[in-house]
Each structure stands twice: as structure tokens, then as C-alpha cells.
Amino acid sequence: MNVFVDGQYGTTGLLIHERLQARSDVQLLSIPEELKKDPEIRANVMNEADLVFLCLPDEAAREAVTLIRNLNTRVIDSSTAFRTDEAWTYGLPELSAGQRDKIAGAARVSVPGCHATAFILAINPLIQLGILPRDYPVDCSSLTGYSGGGKGLIAQYENGSGQQGKSISTPPLHYRLDLHHKHLPEMTKFAGLAYKPLFLPTVCDFYNGMVATIPMATRLLHHQPKLSEIHAALADYYDGERFVRVLPLEDTELLSSNALDPTRCNGTNQAEILVFGNDDQVVVACRLDNLGKGSSGAAIQCMNLMMGLDEGLGL
């Protein structure tokens, strides 16, 4: 199949391009560097493709879609531009029982944001199963590597006081203190919440990896479930999923070190969900590679479904 990655020099685009280069079933179309901004040339290449990945800023992604006139060209977008657009399919196969079929039959798929993926995987099942009230005042904290900020933030860390060959580390930094992070609309919609969560992300001095944590008071949940019941509900929901694993309550890493490593899923398309705390207060956490299941891996997972291939091919 002919595939074009528009924006292949960005963080997500580079990883998608690298993964696809190793596949014999994909012919990567390309444009010379000096011509990559020529709209006519871009349009010609995109309309020749069976599938186009858009790895661009929001406005550029919206503009790029207007260049695609071939009804047989399918599109996967990695920006925020179309994630809550009803004309696009949300690219999270594990969202619900029918989501894979929707992605497989879609012409336009929007890949979730990394924070949104972790958040939705952690609490959507609890809402769908009637455990977490839709109007619960959800609070989420998320630690992420600096690669999620794109080229500018990567350069700031690696040319400044970041960990890459530097002796001085940069402390964790909260950001979006106005509480208006761009992932909030999709987090609210696809988790099934009645109100926006209170979401505070933190960028840390490691390249990739992330963990989102959501605390809950069980007295405010439906039927006041125990810790073990919340864990069992999540484990049952994701039973048989290839890329989402609910770790056992007695997970040895958590018990022995009392720590939650945000980089443990790096280099994979895996998301791990952990449940810890006690019967009064529970924390549900989800960790993943923000460049894997949080972006490029998720995009390729969707491509495989759209092309009728094994979902895990190349992952």
C-alpha cells in the first residue's frame, strides 16, 4: 500500500516513518525537502496515497485535509484538530466493544492525545460499568517526558540543563496552570464525564514515558466498591486486550519499591493500568510511552485496522 507521512520530520512523524520503513507491505511516498511546502506537489502525493498520516500542527492539519480529494485516500491525523469532530472516528481501539469496527471502516481517524489515552483507559470502564458517577469531580495528575512538547521543548531540555549529557537536571515543572489543557475536550467526551476533569500535567527531565493518576474516594462512588472490586472491574474490561494490561494488585514492583516508574512501557505500544490504595481511597494509574501508545504506535495500530491487517503488525 502507498503511504504518505505529511510532517515526517516532527517527533511523531519521524517515528511513524521509521516503523513503516521496516515493513515490506508499505511503499512510502516522499517529497524532496525543498518542495515539502508546495501545496500542489503535496496534494498530488496525498491523492496518490492509499493512506495519509498527518503529523502537523492543528491549523496545518485542517489545511492539509482540504488538499485530499481522492475519496479512496484514508487519513489518520495526530493533531488535536479533529478529535471531537463527529465526522472523524476516535482512534482508541480499546475504548469500547465496537470501536475497532468503527476504526476499521473509517475514512478519517483522529489519534488520541497521550494524556487523553492514559486518562480514558483508566476511568472510562469505571463510568461505563456504573462505578464512577459521570458527575464525579475527577482530578488527574500526569507526569510526562519532555518529548511530548515537540521540537521546541526537546531543544530547551537537551541544549539547556536537561539530562542528555548534562550534570544538572531540571526539576519537574507543572504547566497549563490555567487548567485549559488542549486534551480536555476529548478527555471529557470519551471518558463519558459530565464535567471537565481538573487536570494538571507535569513535564519531567526524561525523554519519553508518562503516567497519569486519578484518585477516588470510594464513599462517593456508586455502591461504595472496595479496592479489589475496582481492580476486578478494570481487569475484566480489558481481559484479552493485546496492548492494555491491568497489573495484579500484588504487583511486585509496586510493593517492593513503593514507586511508580513512568518509563516502564517505553519502546512499546503497551499501556499498563495499576490500582492501589485501600478500601477508602483508591488511585487508578495508567502508564504508557507518550511516543508509542500515546502517538506513533497508536497511529500504526489504527492503520493496521483500517487496512484489514493484524492489529499488532509492526508493533
**Tens-digit pLDDT profile for residues 264-297:** 999 999 999 999 999 999 999 999 999 999 999 9
Whether the CB-CB separation of 292 and 300 falls below 8 Å is answered with no
**Residue 29: band (very low, low, confident or very high) from pLDDT cuts 50, 70, 90:** very high
Q: Count the helices and strands in the chain (H runs, E runs).
A: 10, 13
Do 200 and 230 belong to one domain? yes
Is 314 part of any domain? no
Question: Would you state the pLDDT for residue 169?
Answer: 65
Task: Report the percent of the chain where pLDDT is more than 90.
Answer: 78
Alpha carbons 245 and 77: distance in angstroms, whole number: 26
Where residue 56 sits, what CATH number does that domain have? 3.40.50.720
Question: Would you state the pLDDT for residue 285?
Answer: 96
Do 66 and 202 belong to one domain? no
Alpha carbons 210 and 148: distance in angstroms, whole number: 10
Question: Would you state the pLDDT for residue 311?
Answer: 96
Do 123 and 80 belong to one domain? no
Average per-residue pLDDT in the chain? 92
Do 103 and 148 belong to one domain? no
Query: CA-CA distances (angstroms) from residue 273 to 2, 122, 270, 292?
Result: 36, 7, 10, 16
Beta strands (DSSP E) in the chain are: 2-6, 27-29, 51-54, 74-77, 89-90, 108-110, 139-145, 173-174, 198-204, 210-217, 244-246, 271-277, 281-288
Question: Would you state the pLDDT for residue 162?
Answer: 47
Do 65 and 134 belong to one domain? no
The residue whose grid cell reads 491487517 is 309
For the ranges 27-41, 50-64, 192-206, the lowest mean pLDDT is seen at 27-41
Question: Would you state the pLDDT for residue 305?
Answer: 98
Do 55 and 119 belong to one domain? no
Cα 86 to chain centroid, rounded: 19
pTM: 0.93
Question: Would you state the pLDDT for residue 167?
Answer: 42
Do 238 and 134 belong to one domain? yes
What is the count of structural domains for the chain?
2
Do 123 and 253 belong to one domain? yes
Residues annotated as catalytic (active site), given as ranges: 114
Do 56 and 99 belong to one domain? yes
Where residue 229 sits, what CATH number does that domain have? 3.30.360.10
Please choose, from the candidates 178, 152, 300, the residue with its C-alpha nearest in 3D space to the C-alpha of residue 311: 300
Q: Containing domain of residue 38, as a range?
A: 2-111+295-306
Q: What is the mean pLDDT of residues 87-102?
A: 97
Question: Would you state the pLDDT for residue 257?
Answer: 67
Is 181 part of any domain? yes
Do 125 and 256 belong to one domain? yes
Do 99 and 125 belong to one domain? no
**Tens-digit pLDDT profile for residues 122-149:** 999 999 999 999 999 999 999 999 987 7
